[in-house]
Each structure stands twice: as C-alpha cells, then as structure tokens.
Structure 1
Amino acid sequence: MERIASSRDRSTMRERFDCLTDAYRCFQTGSCPSQRAVDVAGLILSGVCGARSLSECCHDSSVELTCLSLTLVERFTSRLTSRSLSPAVTLYCVEILVVLFQDLDLMSHLIHQFQTEDQIISHLAAKTVSTCVFYQLHQSGTISPVWQQKCVQVFHSSPSGPELDACLWSLTEVLKRLLKGAHQDILGKLLAALDSSLCALCSKFLPDGRKEETQCLVGVTSSRRWGTTWCLLLDLLEVLTASSLTCGAGVCLKSQRMTHTHSSALLTTVSCSSQYFVKKRVLLLLKRALLQKAGEDWALGGSTGLRYKHFHSDMNMLAQSVLTAVTTDWLQSVQVESASFFGGTRHVGGEEGQKPDCVMLRSVSLLLLKSMELHIQTAGVDSATEVYGYLQSLWGFLRRCSVQLTEASHRCCWVSLLFGDQDDDMMEAAKALFSIFLHHRRCSGLDELAVLEAACASGCNPHCHFLLLLQSISFDHSILLDFLISTETCFLEYFVRYLKYLSADWRGFTAACGTISLPDCHLSLQQSPTASAGGDMLKVKGEPDQVEVSSCVQPTGVISPVGTTRLAAGFHLVEYDSSDQSDPENMEVSQEEPGPSACEKGRLSTLDVKQELSGPPLPIRQRQYESSVYKLNSTLERQEGPPLQSEQTSSCPTVPGQLTCGTSARAVLCLSELREVVTRLQTKKLFPYNPSSLVKLLAQVQNCSEQSHLLHFNKW
C-alpha cells in the first residue's frame, strides 16, 4: 500500500510540475497558458506550501516544485510591474494574483517559508515577497499588512537566523527598487511604518557605549549565521543612508540616520569582529556615508542636492567618531590581511612578500582623511599640531601594515600608491589633503617654503600630488579633459581649487618640480616577511625627471596610478556617454549663450568631441609625444638664456614613457593644451557646462610661467 501511495504521489507531483512548467514557458514566450487562471493559482499555492501531505520519498521533487512555484510568481509579477506583457497576458496574470492574494492568502504562505532552513527556498521566498510587495506599492501605494507585521515582529524580537535574514533582504530589496524608481512618497510612507522597529533592530546589534558594544558583539557572534546577518544589516544601513540623501529638506527619520548615529559602534565592530569580510564591509559603509556616496551603484533616483535638517550634525558626528577612535588607538586594532582573489588568497614567494588588501587600506585612509577635512571645516580648529598628529597616526598604521618606505622617500608619493587604481578615491584623498594643507598653512605661522617642507614631511604638499597625477598620465591633457567632463569624481572641484592656489604660489610649484623628481622618491607597497598584511606589489620609482609605476600583477605595460594602462594601451580613462552634471565653483551651465549643449547634441562622448575638433586622430601616444616635443623645443629655442636648473632638458628618449623635458615645462604645456582644447569646445558649444572661469585660471597659470621665465631671463 505504501508503494502504491508513493507512486500516486510521484504521479501527482509530476503532473503539477508539468503544468507549472508549461505555464512558465507560456509566460516567457508572451502567451497565455491553456489552463484557467484559477487552476494555475491553485497549482502555485500547492507548490509554495511544499505539498506537506506527500510522502518523504518525494521530498526532492517537492523542493523542486516549490522553487518553480516561487520563481513563476516572481517572474510574472516582475513583468507586470515593468508592463512588458501583452494586454491579454496582463489580464491573465492579474487574475492569478487576485486569486492568490485575496482568495488563497498566498502572502502568509510565502512569509512562512522565511523560516525554512533550506537557504534556496528561503531566498526565493524573500525575492518573491519583495517583488509582490513592490508591485502592490507601485499599483495602489499600500503596504502589504502581512509583510509589514512580520518585519516589525522579527526586527523587535527575532535572533539571527533564516527568518531575520529573509526579512532583512526583503526590505532592502524593496527599498532599493523604490530608490531606483524615485518613488519618494511611497518610500517615506514605508520607512515611517517601520521606523521604530528598524531602530530597535539596530540598537540590538549596535548599542551605545563601548562596553555594551563589545558584549553585544560577543553575544551576536555566537550565532552560526551571524556573518550573513551582519552583511545583510550593513546592506540595509547603506540603503537607509542613501534614502536620506534623496529626501532633500523633508523629514528624515531616525532609521535613515542610523549609520551616522551608530558610527561609534560600527567602528567598534571593526575592532572586535572575528570575521574579516564583516570588518571590510563596515569600513566601506562608513567611507561611502562620509563621502555621501551611499548607494551610488544603484540609487538611480539621485540626490536632490538639498540636505535634511540634521545632515551636517550627523556628518560631524561620524567624523568625530572616527577621530575619537583614532585618538584612542583604534588604528592599532585594525587588522589588514592578505588580498583575496578568486579561488582564495594569493601567496607570493621569495622576498616579495604578500600583497596587502588595498581596499582595506584605502577605506581606512580615506575615512580618516575625510574626517580630518570635515573636522577642519566645521570645528574651526586652530592647532596645526592636532591635525598633523592624525596624519602621523595614519602613516604609522600604513607602516605597520607593510607599506614600507626607504628613509629618503618622498611621503607625498603615498597618495598615488594607495589610491592609484581608484580615480574617485584618489581625487577625494587629494582634495582632503589639500584642505589639510591649507589649514596648516593658515595656522602654522611659518613662511611659505617652511610650510611646503612641513607638508612634504607629512605627505600633503598639493604641488607634489598634482605633479604625480600629471606624471602618472604622461602629461596627456586629453585625460585631464576626460576628468573634467566626468561626473564620477570630484576632479573639477579639486582642479579649480588647486589652480587658484597654483597661481598664488608659483615659487612653491617650481620647488616641488625639483623635489618630486629626486632619485630617492622610492616607494613600495608590500608585506615584510614577518608581517601579516598583503596586497598588490606596486612601486613608484622616482628618477631625475622620471616617475615610473610598475606592478607585478601585469608584466606588460606601464600601470598608471590613475586606474588604467592609459597611454601604453592607447585608451583613455573612460568614454563617457554624457556629462550633464557638475559641482564646481562658478562652473554652472551657461544660460547666457544660446545653442544646444553637448548633452543635447546626442550626448557626445569625450572621444566624439575630440574627433570633431581634430579630425581622424593619431594614436594617443604618437599624438601626445609629437605635440609635446615640437612645442617644447619651439619654446626652449626662443629662450635666449639657459632654463631653470630644475627644468634642464635631455635628449629625446627612445624608451616609451620617459619624460622628454623638465617637469615644470611639461606641466605648463599640458595645462596650456588643456586650455586650448576647452576653449575650442566652448566656442563650438560642445562643452557640457560653462568653463569660462576654468579657462581664466588656466590662462593665469600660463602667465605665471611666462613671467617666471622672463624674470629668470632678466636675472641671467
């Protein structure tokens, strides 16, 4: 009898599976299944419930049927939301949903699957619930009461486990979809309904007070799944932080500010957590929050530009938490392991040591640098010693993590080393260090040259940073143009501020041109044989008039510290489809000059703009090399006296990448060529914003150079 029952169970299971498979294929092809909608709804419900009355021998088939049922509901609900179905199929699917959710109470059965230990079913159930909740919000603006009640209950009381993980993932997914679609009203309504429960959840994992934080971590980490739960919580915190950037001047709920208000507990997590990937995720979250870039990969709705009432106090709280932690030797507890690669951790034999985790090093460094910048801007610090003390703590941390420098090394090279392969982070670091330098210049009471010497000793001389940037791109002005048109970095803001300072401190610039080319500018990022850190073996080697960046990761080509093998490979940084945003000083889109903008002219890319101006382009290296040699030789031939000692030229090199002339002359030439191309683009109305102020600053730099040469000639 048991065999007969088992055979019937298999037959029933196969029939249900075949019917649902047929329905799934019909939806994929855009046609209606042959079964009635009410019959398909009944089959889906039986599949979601897992056919618990069936015998144990059919367990595997039951799991497959459940997965198919969940996938089917998620798929056609998504298609309904995107309105990609034909009218007939749309009516058919709507009828199924009405039967499932109004007559058969499918939502309760879906949420019941959150508790299952089968991670595939639990995740599919969370995914299906998220899709259905978003569809209901999108259609009627109402929140599923069953789902809302479950989230509130679990956030208040449930320990780490499948149910909490599913609720965290489900809510995060719904909020992400609302942010992508810029549904501000619905988003605010949903967060208001869950605000108190979210605060309770976060307080449970991140309580106030260092002792309570440590005890909480010990308790939470005892759970087998705590690492997964923590990562899901961090994902939710990033979504909530991103939502605070889109609410403008409206009401910002407590749950949207939790990353800032619980920043001290998050920093303690980095110290106490036993899981390295959790530490890294926490640091990345704090870094994005401080840079106001939370959710930048998926929050397509974008920031409104306006800030909620407590925004500045929250940012100050986050910055102060970081600085307070550094003061209490928090950096000593931050461990940096070997860099991870697909398949595990790569080990390097011999004397090269291990490769450090550059993501971790960049996150810690940028977190501290931006906190210092914000502290300077808001706290009105009058002590240069306090600010430089934080920098010394950072250098000590990097030295402990095997960023090794020779005694004669130029510390300003550290920025290129740490942030070289991440353009956005490098620009943020350069901008922060520039603010730190200006603060020290204002508070120290030293003369200009003494200030620059102190800045080099602390690694924050803005002239050195800019020259290293130019050398890393082989003084190619077209790459600077890529940066100016891009909205992915803060280069425009940094560039405008630096050009203003450069015009006022030409003497310091020429001095840096000599310093940055000293042969002792040698820097390596590696792990010593006795250290436990690791990372990419990058080296910045400085020889007279030459800076070379190499990597053992790629044996061919010159690796640029700005992220790509640009000139060696013949590529620019990025081909941008559009550049319709900017955040400069006096760089708003011009309203005075008529005519279409670059965006209106078919969203021209950077390459399109350059080809339109110059015709069929030569290879980048050839064009840049020929232009530099010709113009520099012409300029130097017109001089009746010897050039400055730091700008003496040598014969043209035969090895690609070597510098042909003095650093100062090449830098001025690069900026001059940039001014010419920006002016031509502006004349043809192809530049995405009004660059008049930028052109004036570039012209001032050229005037300073000419006056410097004239003064030198008169003395000679």
Structure 2
Amino acid sequence: MNISLLQQMYKDVLAGTPLPKESYYYTSSLNLCVGQSREKDELCDLPSTDGSIRSHQSTVAPTTDDVSHNLATMNFSFCPREVILLQLTLIKMLVAKVESQETEFSTRQKYCEVLLLLLKEAKADSKLVCLLSSHDQLLSHIASRSLASLVYFQLKEENAVNVTWITFTLRSLLEFPVHTQVAECLWTLTAIIKDVVKDKMLPKPGILKLLAPLDAALEGFYNSILQYHFDSQLYSSPYSEAANNLVSFTDLLEALLASRTQLEVPLRCQRVLFLKVSYVLNLINSSTHYFIKKKFIMLLKKYVLYKPQEDAVSGSQFLQNPYLKEDMLALSNAVLQVVNLTWLNAIPLGEKASYFGSSEALSGDNTQGGSDQTVLRALSLAVLKTLEFKCQNADTEAEIKEGFQSSMSHLLTFWRNNRSDSLHTHPVAHHCEWLSLVFIEQDDDMWEAAKALLLIYLKMDRLRCDAADNLSWEEEENWKLHTHASGYNPHCILLFFLEKIAFDSTVLLDFLISSETCFLEYLVRYLKLLREDWHQFVNICNHFDSQHGTSQPISSIKPAHQEKQSCVVGVSLQNACCEPEPQTLIPLASSQKYLVFTTEQDDNEVAESNQSNSLLCNDNTSLLGSLQSLVNYDSSEDSELESVGKECLVNIKQMPLHKERETMIRETVCSYTDDKQKTLKSEALPLKQKGSNTSSSLACVVSSDNIIPLRTMLYKSTKCLEELQKAISRLQRRNLFPYNPSALLRLLNHIEKISKNMNSQ
C-alpha cells in the first residue's frame, strides 16, 4: 500500500481540493485489507506504531480525529488497525464532500468516481459489514458510520438501496434473540435514516425505498427486544450487551419517529411504539438499570410531543391526519390507563444528578441530592400532554372530568413524593403552584405543560357551557373549586409564575422571541380567555393579596355580586389546598419583605413590613437563576443608544436570528440599570400620579370605612403585561421583532384598556 498517497489524499479531501491522479489509484489505497472470512478477534492484537504488540482490550482506544491527524502528519511503520481507521475516515469524508454544496462540481465528480469504484469493484460494503462484528469497539463504530455514508450515497446517487447492507440488516433483525449482537446493525440503520431525513434534496420516496423492505422485520424486532424479562441480571449494568442493544434501539425509534414526516401514509415500523407503547411502559416500571429507563422516558416524551411540520400546518390540520390521530389516541389511552393504576408512583427516580463523565459528585461538591428532576418533568409532561389529547377528542364534560381528575390526583401525588430539595423548604399550599415549581428550570417544558392545562380548561369550560344555557351560581362555584383542586386554574398558574420571575416582563419577552418554546401560542390563548374572564382574574388577584396580608379587604365600592363572588373564590382557594397551611395560602421565602403603604407617607417614604412577604422587592434570586433576561428592555420609549456605560445582559439561549439583527435588538432595547432602580419606587404606588403626594392620590380611593384597595397582585401583573406590550411595540417600530406581533399587540392593548377602565371607576 502506498502510505504517502493515503496521507496526501487525506490532506486533499480535508481541504476539498481536486485529486490529481486517476480514480483507480485512490480506490486501491482505500481498499480495506479485510477479508469476509476473517476472524473477529484477528484485529484485537496488532503491532503498534513503535513495533511493539498492543492489546486493544488493555489500552484506551484513540479518537478518530487523533488517529487521522497523526497519520496525515507523521511518518512511521503503520499497523493494520491504524491504516483501516484512516481508510474508514476517508470514506466518510468523501461522502460528506460530495454532499457539500461548497465543493466544486469537478471535484465532486472525481470524489463520486472513487466512491462508485469502491462499491462496484472493491466491494467495500461487504468488508465494512465484516468489520461491524469486530471486538474492537472503535473499528466497529467507525465502520458503521462509513457503511451508513456509503448506503446513503448510493441511495441518493443511484436511487437504489445497497443489497449487501439490506441483507445484513434483515438477517440481524430476524435472528434476534438467538444471535444477540445487533447493536452495530441498529447504529448503521439509525445513521442512514438521519442522513436521509436531513437531506432536503433527496426525494421523499427515498425513506420508503429504504424502510419498506425492513418494515415487518422491524416490528417483529420491536416485539422481541421489548418482551424480555428486564428484571434479569442482563440489564443490571448499562455496559452489558443487552443494555447496549436497548440503548441503540431507543436511538432507532427516535429516528423512525422523525422519518414519519417523509411519508403521507406511515409504515408500520413508524407507528409501532404508538400502537404498542405498553411494552415501553412496562420496561420503564421494571428493575432494569436507571440509565436505560431514563432513555426510554425521554423517548416517550418525544413521542408525546410529536408535531410534524408544525410550522407548516395548524393544530387542527395536524389532528386531521387520521393515522396520527389514531396513533396519539392509542398512546394516550395506554399512558393514562397505567397512570390511574399508580404506575407513576412505582417508578423510583434517581437520587443523584448526572455528572459529566461520572454518576458520582466530586469531593467537596455541595450539589444537593434529591430526585432526578429531568425525569420528573419528562414523565409529568407526558401525562399532561396525553391528558390534553384525550380531552380534545372527548365529546362531553362527563367523559373528561372523571378520568382527568383521577390522573391529576396521581400526578399531584407524584410531585409531592418526588419534590426536589429546594421544595422541601417551600411548603406548597395550593395545587396550581405545582406547575411553576416543577417546571421552572425548563422553560420549553413549562410552557408545553401550561398550554396543555389551558387547553383542557378551555375545552371543559366550553362543554360545560354548551350543556346548559344558564348555569346556577352553585355550579359556577363548584367549577371554580374543581379547577383549583385539580391544579389547572389558568389565572392561578400564570400569577404563580409571574411571582417566581418577580413580574419581570423581559423574561416574558425572551420567551416570545425564542423559537424553543410555545409561549406565543400559550399567551395568545390566555389573553383571549382573560379578555372574557376579567372579573374572575381580578377576584383571584385580590385573594392573593389577602392571603399575603398585603392589603385590607376590597372596598365596598365593588358591585354586590362581585363581592360575593370574590368571597366564594377565597373559600374555594382555601379548600383546594393540598397541604394544611393554616397561616398562609401562598408562602414565599422568609428572606423576602414587602412594602406596605399608608396614607401618612410622603412621596419618598415607605414603611417596611417584616411580617409579610415581598412581591415588589424580591431578595430571593435562586428562582431567577435559570431565567436571566436576554437583555434589559426598560429603556425609555424613544431613547437612542446613549447608555454607553451600560451593557446588555446576555445570559440565556437565543433564537436563530442573523448576528447583525441580534445585535440591533440588544442595542435597541438595552437600558439604563440606574433608571430601573429609580422606577421601582415610583411603581410601588399603582394609583400615584406625577406631581401629587401619596396621601392625596390615595384619598380618591378610600371609602367611608377607610378600606384601602391596593390590589398589589392585580397591579403588578397588569403592569408586567403593559411593559411587555411597550417592549414589543418598540421592537416592531424598528423592524426588529422576529415575526409580526400585530395580533398579540391587539390583545395586550385590549387588556390594558380593561385594566385602566377598572382603575378609573
């Protein structure tokens, strides 16, 4: 073998330059020195670069990048193993360069010639299949990646599936579990599916041509591998062959899910987990290794959240797909059935967080233990999304209510039993607070969960109103009590979340411009509800204030029927408590303080109350650690870039915008930090006007019995929405908002008008 030619070829392909020699020269250099009859162990002990004997099992295998870099830059006596690694790397690089649009056309043609000669004359596919069974894990893995590249290349260039590979794959799937070495076959198939799905230029029937011959075999393999007795010792270690097969199978199932977008009528193998999810649910509840169960739990979450082409179709069109609707309904029924049989509470969550490279904390690490909150959120979201789908396909309120109440009861118990260490010091007195406490560290999951509960609420409310034209007062109050007891009252959920972020509108703006959350859809739906249900929102805000001790009872200027309603809502909220907390309904951290105002204060004076909690001055920053704002959006309405000494805060993920546009957004909305501090005091009095003192402004709302309706929660929440509306308007005027927010702005403006009209009364 001409080693110098192999080294030079590596450099040329890496740079994307033309290959000067004939294609046969390069084909001979890439011809793998592996026979199909070669024993598996023959590659385990090969001469190393210094002439000594090296056992693969007793040394740490180098990475692919290390091997290829060293071989391209050094001169030494090559060992067969390292030569093969370089050849495998070059095959994969050639395919990548052929698919790259940056490679010149003539260069791509030359690379294609080399690859076709490898397939037709050198029989590289057969030799790669032989390498898959090697005990050398690095060789086996790189061989699977190279084989996947060649199969994908042939499918795209010749519109044909490689016969050698398809034969090997069918044999591996059908012979399981008699022959258990199947992970390498699953790796290759998964890689091919991912390449095909990512390729926008490949005709969509390509995935059909690839999977149709494997359809029946894949369904049979699904039944075989998931019907094992997972309590055996085979699955007690994540490093065993059985565990490796299961983990590889989860990756394949995820790829099959993604491939459904390629076909109008999905294959059976693309639907099998939906229709037979009970196998996965049984595995999750088995005594198999926690790592394996976690992989399947995260896979279940992805199946529940499956939204193909969500940017191209609306939700209603999405559900009109008969196959997808049938699949989601089957999955939802199976999940809810086991949830109502205490399946959730039988799942032991891991007691330690995952650490990079290890499952143990380093010495001196102060990280607290507790249950695995990632798995807790994934399971919770799976239950909530299946509940949402089940409710959306129900025809009557009674059909929803019983099953929903039972499932939510089990879910609330699951949350209480697996609360994180931080929640042990935070007594939860109201079911609606659980959502923000459980999901506060994962914003995309949080808004998916909040949207699911909001859609359930809207569906049940519509069915309830359709069933009876005139609902009695008792029925209305029982409905409100039920929403609090089951933890899905939309007003409470939003208010609890706003408390957690200290009513910071910039956090909401971050969610709106992020492409990773469904917050826009949630907010639009909620604002439409708020527009119609304003009085209920006001009553709940008032009850928040009364439970915090931040204001006295609401003034009697309110209409009689509203006063009675508010009183009953308070009783409903108290009766809906999940834990007996005799003193407060919504306790905050003891370090928080609250500002209480009296008619005797001057403009610059406030009285600090140590006996109540704070909504205005929140010293507890632990809950805001994961919600740092992208930027500070509190700059004045039309101010230009004059805040030279102040820098924008950039602490969280950003949506995929052009860098110039991102910079313009940050600079436009970057504000004065000092101004923010100054405005906190002026915002503390919601009814205070410029140029007037506190006593005179409060005098206009004091009733004859000296009751002062400060309505702190109502003011802070509506103020937050008002600031959000202003920030969106500023960005829209400068053409910096990433999409058209006109509909959202109309809703926010409408809510602002309702709020101001109420304050003027």
Secondary structure, aligned partner of 1:482: helix
Q: Look up the match of 1:12.
A: none
1:706 aligns with 2:756: yes
1:376 aligns with 2:440: no
Aligned counterpart for 1:326 among listed residues 339, 346, 352: 339
Q: Look up the match of 1:178.
A: 196
Tell me the TM-score normalized by structure 2.
0.73
Computing the radius of gyration over CA atoms, which structure comes out larger, 1 or 2?
2
Deviates more, 1:383-392 or 1:368-377: 383-392
Aligned counterpart for 1:388 among listed residues 405, 411, 415: 405
Contact 1:365/1:394 (8 A) holds in 2 = yes
Aligned counterpart for 2:120 among listed residues 97, 102, 127: 102
After TM superposition, give the deviation of residue 463 of structure 1 in Å: 1.3
Aligned counterpart for 2:329 among listed residues 288, 313, 316: 316
Q: Look up the match of 2:432.
A: 412
The amino acid that maps onto 1:115 is S
Secondary structure, aligned partner of 2:502: coil
In 2, Cα distance between equivalents of 1:157 and 1:64? 32
After TM superposition, give the deviation of residue 448 of structure 1 in Å: 4.7
After TM superposition, give the deviation of residue 412 of structure 1 in Å: 2.2
Correspondences of 1:304-453 after superposition (within 5 Å): 307=318, 308-338=321-351, 339-342=353-356, 343-346=358-361, 354-380=369-395, 382-383=397-398, 384-403=401-420, 409-438=429-458, 441=461, 443=464, 446-448=474-476, 450-453=478-481
Q: Look up the match of 1:194.
A: 214
Correspondences of 1:10-49 after superposition (within 5 Å): 17-31=3-17, 37-49=23-35
Contact 1:681/1:687 (8 A) holds in 2 = yes
Q: Look up the match of 1:126.
A: 144
After TM superposition, give the deviation of residue 357 of structure 1 in Å: 0.8
In 1, Cα distance between equivalents of 2:38 and 2:374? 48
Q: Look up the match of 2:526.
A: 498
Residues 138/163 of structure 1: CA separation in 2 closer, same or farther (3 Å cut):
farther
Q: Look up the match of 1:544.
A: 613
Deviations 1:637-695 (A, max 9, x none): 3565347999966xxxxxxxxxxx92211211222233334345555655454444323
Contact 1:50/1:62 (8 A) holds in 2 = no
Aligned counterpart for 2:624 among listed residues 560, 572, 579: 560
Secondary structure, aligned partner of 1:24: helix
Secondary structure, aligned partner of 1:288: helix
Deviates more, 1:340-349 or 1:184-193: 340-349
Give the aligned CA root-mean-square deviation in angstroms: 3.9
The amino acid that maps onto 2:409 is Q
Correspondences of 1:483-632 after superposition (within 5 Å): 483-516=511-544, 518=547, 544-546=613-615, 558-560=622-624, 563-564=627-628, 570-571=649-650, 573-578=652-657, 605=661, 608-609=664-665, 611-612=667-668, 617-619=670-672, 621-627=673-679, 629-630=681-682
After TM superposition, give the deviation of residue 93 of structure 1 in Å: 3.1
After TM superposition, give the deviation of residue 344 of structure 1 in Å: 2.1
Contact 2:176/2:221 (8 A) holds in 1 = no
Q: Look up the match of 1:78.
A: 96
Aligned length: 625
Contact 1:195/1:253 (8 A) holds in 2 = yes
The amino acid that maps onto 2:212 is A
In 2, Cα distance between equivalents of 1:192 and 1:239? 15
Residues 243/540 of structure 1: CA separation in 2 closer, same or farther (3 Å cut):
farther
Q: Look up the match of 1:533.
A: none
The amino acid that maps onto 1:323 is L
Residues 676/647 of structure 1: CA separation in 2 closer, same or farther (3 Å cut):
farther
Residues 678/30 of structure 1: CA separation in 2 closer, same or farther (3 Å cut):
closer
Percent of matched pairs sharing the same residue:
27
1:204 aligns with 2:254: no
Contact 1:114/1:126 (8 A) holds in 2 = yes
Tell me the TM-score normalized by structure 1.
0.77
Deviations 1:276-312 (A, max 9, x none): 1111111111111111158xxxx9x976666543111
In 2, Cα distance between equivalents of 1:550 and 1:107? 64
Deviates more, 1:194-203 or 1:28-37: 28-37
1:693 aligns with 2:743: yes
Aligned counterpart for 1:239 among listed residues 255, 270, 278: 255
Residues 647/117 of structure 1: CA separation in 2 closer, same or farther (3 Å cut):
farther
After TM superposition, give the deviation of residue 233 of structure 1 in Å: 1.0
Q: Look up the match of 1:166.
A: 184
Deviates more, 1:36-45 or 1:683-692: 683-692
Secondary structure, aligned partner of 1:356: coil
In 1, Cα distance between equivalents of 2:280 and 2:549? 40
Deviations 1:43-90 (A, max 9, x none): 332445599699966375222222122112111222122254456654
Deviations 1:15-69 (A, max 9, x none): 6555423332333244566775434423332445599699966375222222122
In 2, Cα distance between equivalents of 1:252 and 1:399? 40
Secondary structure, aligned partner of 1:328: coil
Secondary structure, aligned partner of 2:154: helix
1:152 aligns with 2:159: no
In 2, Cα distance between equivalents of 1:520 and 1:409? 15
The amino acid that maps onto 1:281 is K
Secondary structure, aligned partner of 1:346: coil
After TM superposition, give the deviation of residue 470 of structure 1 in Å: 2.5
Deviates more, 1:95-104 or 1:26-35: 26-35
